[in-house]
Amino acid sequence: MRTLNLGILAHVDAGKTSLTERLLHSAGVIDKIGSVDAGSTQTDSLALERQRGITIKSAVVSFVIGDVTVNLIDTPGHPDFIAEVERVLGVLDGTVLVISAVEGVQAQTRVLMRALRRLRIPTLIFVNKADRAGAHAGRVLAGIAERLTPSIVAMGSVTGLGTQGCEFRPYGPDEAAFTARLAEVLAEHDEELLADYVRDETGLPYRRLRRELAAQARRGLVHPVFLGSAITGAGVAELTGGLTRFLPAGRGDAAGPVSGTVFKVERGPAGEKIAYVRMFSGALHVRDRLPSGGDRGQRGRDRSGPDRSGRDGGRDGGGRLPAGRDGESKITAISVFERGPAVRRDQVRAGQIGKLWGLRDVQIGDTLGVPPAGRPRHRFAPPTLETVVVPRRPADKGALHAALGQLAEQDPLIGLRRDDVRGELLLSLYGEVQKEVIQATLAGEYGVDAAFSASTTICIERPAGTGAAFEIIGTPTNPFLATVGLRVDPAPVDSGPVFRLEVELGSMPFAFFKAVEETVTRTLQQGIHGWQVIDCVVTMTHSGYWPRQSHAHAHFDKSMSSTAGDFRNLTRLILMSALSRAGTTVHEPVHRFHLEIPADAYGPMLPVLTRLRAVPGAPAMRGPLCLLDGEIPAAQVRELEEQLPALTRGEGVLEAAFGHYQPVRGTAPSRPRTDHNPLNREEYLLHVMRRVAAR
Ligand SMILES: Nc1nc2c(ncn2[C@@H]2O[C@H](COP(=O)(O)OP(=O)(O)OP(=O)(O)O)[C@@H](O)[C@H]2O)c(=O)[nH]1
Ligand SMILES: [Mg+2]
């Protein structure tokens, strides 16, 4: 059997879960088609998903087409849950991007397609809801070509559009417009075909075009488009046929080295951890032992809260140190997705998706074994909001902390932070829906009633220039047994924090370098103004230590020998000095927005946008509608959403998604942080000494 790991992606409500249900039904996995509206689908299985009718967590189900097992991952479309999609992207062989025939290309569709194209993930497009009044095939196809990618080929047309009786009619070899379109699109990516096409525009054999279409679609160069309805089933059979024809199913190398990625972690009924792994090569068996936490180096970075590093991926590892190991845990049970839900097996092999029990410290994003080759990472925009969480019953404080810790473990982009000065617990968030879901989960699953403050924005800091500092071991100003020198340089936007060595890796024990790197990562979480410092390179310029030594016949003497603790304490001190010499500027998140409002609402809308510090572009008038694109600080999006109904008689539609960071002008729109790095050297040394004394 071959395997196809297939993602279903779309803007919220486009019909992913409904389409999943249809696909399962037509493959014979379920007898009765469930409905999102009745809360009876296979993949929206959480109580909250059923109540709200939206997908919150990605879910896996499988079915068989011919000799291919399809592992389908239904993902959430709401932008607040984009972290779920980010984890899934790294394990897919192909995707179906669903677009509503009524709403057309939407904000999240663009965000997703950009990621899919960058990662070259082979993608079929399904234009759904062809049965709904207002469905418009031509307009949506034009929108896809204009706003997503010109490399599309419609595989057929729809009759009875906008009615329950709609049907998908596939194009055939006799349709001149179809074969001409095929030749034109395919020739773009193939020199030989282009030469033959130029020689004779209509003479390319249909079989060759179909073969070439399959080859190019499997390489993610061209996207076949199907149309239909998840509710009536129109076009679903043709889409099913397209999955195996146009997407790359594989076998993987089961005899190769173990390589897998954990893309989802959940808790079982008894609170046990279950990790979903996609195997790229090799096999894992029950009773296999794995280093605890898999690839810690990779994870260390993933877990660093709202990490903006390398949103375009591929930058991981720039000068970073290899991962270390600390302890092992044993796989106690495995189940594998084969047909429908997962079934108990004693191994999970290359190509497959399995659920693993027993890995105590496993977290989303962990690599099991060696990292998969040729799989760049994609990072979506980080969360830009944060909120203070307080238990309504003071006695629940500990339970709240533990529960939030578990939730953050399942969703690594939920950053949990404690402000020790104010004694507050803060949660980073994508939006209000996520906040409501977390609140409901805390109450429903953990029995903790929590209150959330109004969300404020998360700013970041970027170095304003270059700054360096060092201390040499054994000199009077240096209270620690370590030599550390660090230089901070600004780096291009979106390059994240990068740690580099300008000293020889062999010049010190590895554990000391690791202590320096980990401390650099931790210290950068809170810069001079208390925000995470991004887009910087920290270079280690000096290193030195005193080896383990003792007076004659005595034991190891700490006062003469360097320890990792010396490196940690000194690194923080040096990095803070280097950062303050470099200086940093605070930036706030800015969203790009797209507004569709009645044309006569444009006039009253403008002063509101100005007051909210938005920068609108030129309006485009489309009949009774006015389309407006622009930028608005993330801090103001909520207010714009609230004002919109009154300004547009309830007809306005706003889509907003993170765009970039811009320097804060005037006062920061966020709560100033109180728990940031104390930059005063004396204060810091006092703090370290108190800590040492307390031990
Ligand atoms: N008329 C019609 N309604 C549809 C179709 N597909 C989905 N719907 C409806 O659209 C709504 C959203 O469908 P879902 O399947 O939950 O959409 P989704 O993309 O999974 O949504 P999220 O996971 O929350 O992003 C539900 O009310 C569905 O009944 C379709 O083909 N035709
Ligand atoms: Mg869904």
pLDDT confidence of residue 309: 34
Flag whether the pTM goes above 0.75.
Answer: yes
CB 9 near ligand 1, within 6 Å: no
pLDDT confidence of residue 529: 83
In whole angstroms, give the CA distance from residue 686 to residue 284.
50
As a whole number, mean pLDDT of residues 17-29 equals 95
Helix (H, G, I), strand (E, B) or coil at 181: helix
Q: Is the pLDDT of residue 628 over 70?
A: yes
- Burial class from Cβ neighbours inside 10 Å (0-12, 13-18, 19+) for residue 248 reads middle
Location of structure tokens 């290899």: 322
The region of weakest confidence among 99-108, 286-295, 501-510 is: 286-295
Report which bound ligand comes closest to the CA of 37: 1
CB 55 near ligand 1, within 6 Å: yes
Q: Most confidently modeled of 294-303, 409-418, 664-673? A: 409-418
CB 351 near ligand 1, within 6 Å: no
| Residue 132 Cα: closest atom of ligand 1 | 1
How many C-alpha atoms does 528 have within 13 Å on its Cβ side?
A: 15
In whole angstroms, give the CA distance from residue 70 to residue 19.
14
As a whole number, mean pLDDT of residues 540-562 equals 76
As a whole number, mean pLDDT of residues 37-44 equals 91
As a whole number, mean pLDDT of residues 60-79 equals 95
Query: pLDDT by residue (tens digit) across 430-455?
Result: 888 899 999 999 999 899 999 998 88
CB 14 near ligand 1, within 6 Å: yes
| Residue 98 Cα: closest atom of ligand 1 | 19
Mutate to test the pocket of ligand 1, among 9, 11, 12, 13 (most ligand atoms within 8 A of CB): 13
Q: Is the pLDDT of residue 491 over 60?
A: yes
How much is the mean pLDDT over the chain? 87
pLDDT confidence of residue 552: 58
The region of weakest confidence among 86-100, 197-211, 341-355 is: 197-211
As a whole number, mean pLDDT of residues 298-314 equals 33
Higher-pLDDT residue of 178 and 422 is 178
Q: How far is the CA of 18 from the centre of ligand 2 (A)?
A: 7
pLDDT confidence of residue 557: 58
Report which bound ligand comes closest to the CA of 13: 1
Q: Most confidently modeled of 15-19, 34-38, 108-112? A: 15-19
pLDDT confidence of residue 116: 95
> Could you tell me which residues come within 8 angstroms of residue 455 by beta carbon, excluding any fewer than 6 positions away?
385, 386, 387, 429, 432, 435, 638
Query: Computed over its alpha carbons, how large is the radius of gyration of the chain?
Result: 27
CB 54 near ligand 1, within 6 Å: yes
Name the band, by pLDDT with cuts 50, 70 and 90, for residue 409.
confident
CB 229 near ligand 1, within 6 Å: yes
pLDDT confidence of residue 122: 98
Q: Tell me which amino acid residue 297 is.
A: G
Query: pLDDT by residue (tens digit) across 387-396?
Result: 999 999 999 9
Mutate to test the pocket of ligand 1, among 17, 42, 52, 74 (most ligand atoms within 8 A of CB): 17
pLDDT confidence of residue 689: 66
pLDDT confidence of residue 657: 79
The tokens describing 405, both together, are 């810790």
Which is nearest to 262 in space by CA: 412, 55, 96? Answer: 412
CB 230 near ligand 1, within 6 Å: yes
Mutate to test the pocket of ligand 1, among 25, 33, 36 (most ligand atoms within 8 A of CB): 36
Location of structure tokens 């060595």: 501
| Residue 128 Cα: closest atom of ligand 1 | 31
Q: How far is the CA of 66 from the centre of ligand 1 (A)?
A: 28
pLDDT confidence of residue 416: 84
CB 166 near ligand 1, within 6 Å: no
Query: pLDDT by residue (tens digit) across 225-276?
Result: 999 999 999 999 999 999 999 999 988 899 999 999 999 999 888 889 999 9
| Residue 229 Cα: closest atom of ligand 1 | 31
CB 234 near ligand 1, within 6 Å: no
The tokens describing 239, both together, are 């889409």
pLDDT confidence of residue 509: 94
- Burial class from Cβ neighbours inside 10 Å (0-12, 13-18, 19+) for residue 176 reads exposed
The tokens describing 287, both together, are 């009773």
CB environment 647-680: b (16+ within 10 A), e (fewer): bbeeebebbbbbbebeebeeebbbbebebbbeee
From atom 23 of ligand 1, which residue's Cα is the shortest distance away?
55
> Residue 265: in which H helix or E strand, if any?
strand 259-267
Q: Tell me which amino acid residue 79 is.
A: P
Q: How far is the CA of 17 from the centre of ligand 1 (A)?
A: 7
pLDDT confidence of residue 693: 66
Location of structure tokens 């170095």: 463
CB 17 near ligand 1, within 6 Å: yes
> Residue 389: in which H helix or E strand, if any?
strand 385-391
| Residue 75 Cα: closest atom of ligand 1 | 23
CB 96 near ligand 1, within 6 Å: no
